[in-house]
Amino acid sequence: MRMSVIGCGYLGAVHAAAMASIGHDVVGIDVDEDKVAALASGTAPFFEPRLSELLADGLASGRLRFRSSMADAAGADVHFLAVGTPQVAGGHAADLRYVDAAVDALLPHLRPGDVLAGKSTVPVGTAARLAERIADSGATLVWNPEFLREGWAVHDTLTPDRLVVGAAPGADGERAVEVLRSAYSSALEAGTPFLVTDLATSELVKGAANAFLATKISFINAMAEIAEAAGADVTLLADALGHDGRIGRRYLGSGIGFGGGCLPKDIRAFAARAEELGRGESVGFLREVDAINLRRRDRAVQLVVDALGGLVFGRRIAVLGAAFKPFSDDIRDSPALDVAVRLRGLGADVVVTDPAAIDNARAAHPQLGYARERDDALREADAVVIVTEWDEYRRDLSPTHAGGLVRGRIIVDGRNCLDAEAWRAAGWQYHGMGRR
């Protein structure tokens, strides 16, 4: 099937490469000519496992190409809309300028029978508005939300846990849904559930999923606050809760909270849209979810300050992690970098290391110190803070090895990813989040 993918950022580049890898003829379109040039040469503009291999294979096969002109999208059977929807400046709502601009640019190239499949995360009601905008072209709009996890995006595109397609009622909508079934035939043959909904429901699925996930993460972090006050251990609490089949253990890991370019801004936009619909009270709890999440960063900084006896100025602190999560170089709204910046603001000599995100972090925060190698960051440190749970830190770093490098054996485990007893037994002063 011939496809175009409009917008070649994180979502679009992965989607284009993945679709080409299963045999479709794909052109990725983006207005950023530098990004297009990089992708066309096989260079991924961000770190994502397996993406470089998919790009190389797709380009070599001729099934994948990248262009900067929307005219190159003409002739595709389905056009995937994958542009960003950032938070508006000075507010919480989603900025839809890029979505509208992409649809306007594509409109002259749409043919009767074409399918425009929206993948961008948008406020409910956007799809119906866009469907009206393209109606005269004879093309049909459906909404096909993405559920990608950074670090697992290729896997999640090729083997999704569900596929959702929202369509308007009628023959055109039904035909468009069948086009999407064909596009995802390999996943469907592997047993992936395919859910057909109305347009509004398909838009709500993404926002609701993010809201639930953020709530679960902030819930256990709220329990961490109570555990600290009560002298309890939130990790044992989470284990006990996780055995309840109605709750589950996944995403009940207490720490410094969530970040990235999606979850924080998406829950704010979800709440903002609920306010516009006159139902702000229905998601009023999301404001507290956001507040709990941000408080965890404060708590991590305070643990470092307290561990150093309140004397932070001039002390060397190794910060292990810069990306907002492992297997990514994304530093957008990164709790890890936020902790590092706050410690630097208190006068600490902060040295940040990360397996993938050093260059992005340095460009955003040149005032921090950086070390490409983990051990260089640890050397002569008065305290160590783990803020991104890369395997290099949570699994591969032994307390004995680290103890031979540092000046002070103080470690703050911002992700509760270490064996506390093992580190204490090696002579470390261990501090976790919501742990005794």
Residues belonging to the active site: 262
**What are the beta bridge partners of residue 369?**
351
Q: Which structure tokens are listed for 141?
A: 């709009």
- The angle at the Cα of 293, spanning 291 to 296, to the nearest 5 degrees, equals 110
For residue 88, count CB atoms less than 10 angstroms from its CB and return exposed for 0-12, middle for 13-18, buried for 19 or more: middle
- The angle at the Cα of 408, spanning 230 to 319, to the nearest 5 degrees, equals 75
Decide: 48 and 150 in contact? Cβ < 8 Å: yes
Q: What CA–CA distance (Å, rounded) separates 338 from 334?
A: 6
Decide: 233 and 273 in contact? Cβ < 8 Å: no
Decide: 158 and 195 in contact? Cβ < 8 Å: no
In sequence order, the 6+-apart residues with CB closer than 8 A to the CB of 302 are none
Q: What CA–CA distance (Å, rounded) separates 221 from 104?
A: 43
Strand order through the sheet with 349-353: 369-370, 349-353, 316-320, 383-386, 410-413, 429-432
Q: What CA–CA distance (Å, rounded) separates 255 from 251?
A: 11
Alpha-helical (H) ranges within 231-262 are 234-242
Residue with tokens 């056009």: 79
Q: What CA–CA distance (Å, rounded) separates 383 from 381?
A: 5
Nearest one of 190, 165, 186, 188 to 177, comparing CA atoms: 165
Q: What CA–CA distance (Å, rounded) separates 234 from 232?
A: 6
Q: Which structure tokens are listed for 425?
A: 């037994």
For residue 219, count CB atoms less than 10 angstroms from its CB and return exposed for 0-12, middle for 13-18, buried for 19 or more: middle
